[in-house]
Structure 1
Amino acid sequence: MPSSPTPNVDDEIVPPPKVNKWDGSAVKNSLDDAVRDILIKKLGFDENFNLVDGRLGICSIAVAIAMLALLWDYLYPFPQSRPVLLLCVSAYFVMMGVLTLYTAYMEKGIFAVAVYKDPAGNEPQTWEASSYMKRFDDMYTLSLSCFKGKNATEKTVQFEKSVACFFDTEGNLLLDLLEPEVLKLHNNLTSGKKDK
């Protein structure tokens, strides 16, 4: 495995704003944003938006269908527009099903995709960060995966820790405690070790 990329000193990781430590969703999102910043700014990876673009494409089609129904009903009031409205509502329902399948089977909790292009010219590595936190639970699970090569061989490492390890009593995220954990996962992948 090639050595890890050199950090970009111009990009300083800005600590996220203070969160309500009792709001699990806000705590998870704050941790996810900080991990993304560590991958992009600290490690110097390039962010890949293909996964998000897929979701935006599906949503754009659904919005276009809804706009078509609205426009058609405006041009041809209800009794005339009934078949088109029925078709648009059905198509919108199908698109929401596609979106649900996409988020469940394609995104799978992935909140960041980054690409490391080796200066030596080796094949680029794709890194994916995903997280999971049960509702009303304090345990945060972070998984980091690395894909390399045309066959996309995958290696994954993860940790599970209480969010109390990364936040102070005021709800401020402690980057100096989170960053070593993320870098440890990164180093385990680049050195070829398998973690939990």
Structure 2
Amino acid sequence: MTETSEVVKINKWDGAAAKNAIDDAVREVLTGDLKCKESFALIDGRLFLCALAVGVALYALLWDYLYPFPQSRVVLIICVSSYFVLMGILTLYTTFKEKGIFVVAKEKVGNNTRVWEASSYVKKHDDKYNLILVLRDTNGKFREASINKSFANFIDTNGTVVQNLVLNEVNKLYNSLSSDKKEK
């Protein structure tokens, strides 16, 4: 943990806030302590789709301003249809491509580049934090490991994430995946 990082206090009874705080701590471990470089390609894909949808909406707005409604009917129909198609594609992208991944980090090992993907989820009305760490190597192989622990294992009584506990758990997953024992 770096000295410049600030301590974030959360409501430990709020599952979403606790999940997000632990996600941030896991991101910090991967990109800080384990010296991996964060890749933003997955998020850039989502931003591109959103920007395209906003561009279509702005084009429709401008066209309707220049050529009021009766004249702009066809362009508005096309733009509105395109917007909804883009929102459908965005939904599919976030559901099937992102899959809850909150950090993608690359690590250079010799001539190979290993890609680490961390995703997490919390079931409704549950206090268990589920972390899944996936390792993809340049050969196209991937390995995966996960933990399922209570929020209490990571957050102290004051509502602060204990970085050392997160570091220990992520290190266990990292080390188990770094060894070649768990080939799929």
Which 4+ stretches in 1 moved above 3 angstroms?
none
Root-mean-square deviation (Å): 1.5
Contact 1:15 1:34 in 2 (8 A): no
Higher helix fraction (1 or 2): 2
Amino acid at match of 1:33: D
> How far is the alpha carbon of 1:13 from its aligned partner?
7.3
Alignment counterpart, residue 149 of structure 1, candidates 138, 142, 153 = 138
Distance 1:190 1:15, change over 3 A: farther
> How far is the alpha carbon of 1:86 from its aligned partner?
1.1
Distance in 1 of aligned mates of 2:26 and 2:144: 16
Number of aligned residue pairs: give it.
182
Tell whether 2:125 aligns with 1:129.
no
Tell whether 2:18 aligns with 1:27.
yes
Alignment counterpart, residue 75 of structure 2, candidates 84, 91, 104 = 84
- 1:158 matched to which residue of 2? 146
Distance in 1 of aligned mates of 2:34 and 2:3: 11
Distance in 2 of aligned mates of 1:163 and 1:15: 20
TM-score (norm 1): 0.88
Structure 1 residue runs without a partner (length 5+): 1-8
Contact 1:128 1:146 in 2 (8 A): yes
Alignment counterpart, residue 169 of structure 2, candidates 181, 188, 191 = 181
Deviation track 1:49-105 (CA, whole Å, cap 9, x = no partner) reads 110111111111001011111111111112211211111111000001000100111
Contact 1:13 1:42 in 2 (8 A): no
Deviation track 1:15-34 (CA, whole Å, cap 9, x = no partner) reads 55111112221111111111
> How far is the alpha carbon of 1:12 from its aligned partner?
4.7
Structure 2 residue runs without a partner (length 5+): none
